Amino acid sequence: MFSKRVVKTVKLIIGIGLIILIVGFLVIQFVPVDTSNPAVVSEPKWDSPQTQALAEQACYDCHSNETKWPWYSHIAPVSWVIAREVHRGRRSLNYSEQSAYGENESIETILQGRMPPRQYVLFHPKARLTNADKQALIAGLKKTFGSNVGSGRESGEGREGQGGEDSEGEGN
C-alpha cells in the first residue's frame, strides 16, 4: 500500500492540476472568436419552400450567413472548433452570397453522405436527411440552380459562371 505521504503528494498534484485546468479554461474564454453573421447579400430563388426548408435545416448553419449559434458555440475551446467549421463551410459554399453558391458539388456531397457532416448531425438530429429528403433536396437544387448542376465542373472552383437566369438574386 502507499504511504500517507505518497497519497498526500498525489492529492496535491491532482489539486494543482485541477486549478491550472480551471484557470486555463477561464482564461481561454477571453480569446476572441468570430461568431458573427454577416449580412445576407443574396438568396437563391428556391424552386419550392420544401427545398429551402431542407437546405436551411441541413446546410444553413455552415453554408449561409444565417448560422444559428448554439449556446455551447460560445464556450471555448468548443467555440474555436465550431467557428472554424462555419468559416470553412462559408468559404466553400454560401447560400447568402451569390458568388459562392457552388451548387455543382452540393449534390455530390449529399450523395456521398459527406454533407451534412456526421458529427454535426449528432448534435442536430433535425439536420439528418432521410433518403426521401436527400432525393427531394437534390431534385430541388437541380431545379433551383438549373440543369447544369451536377454535370461536373470545368475549374476547381465550380462557383463562377452559373446563375445566368437568376443573376438578380435579390428577389424573394
Residues contributing to the site for ligand HEC (CB under 6 A): 58-59, 61-63, 85, 88-89, 92-93, 102, 105-106, 109-110, 115-117, 120, 127
Nearest to 55 by CA among 98, 107, 1: 107
Hey, what amino acid is at 76? A
- DSSP helix, strand, coil percent of the chain (3-state; round to 5): 55, 0, 45
| Residue closer to ligand HEC (CB basis): 3 or 112 | 112
Q: How far is the CB of 29 from ligand HEC (least distance, A)?
A: 22
3-state secondary structure (DSSP) of residue 102:
coil
Q: How far is the CB of 68 from ligand HEC (least distance, A)?
A: 11
Q: Minimal distance in Å, beta carbon 170 to ligand HEC?
A: 22
Q: Which is nearer to ligand HEC, 33 or 127 (CB)?
A: 127
Q: Residue 97: name the closest of 41, 164, 45 by CA.
A: 41
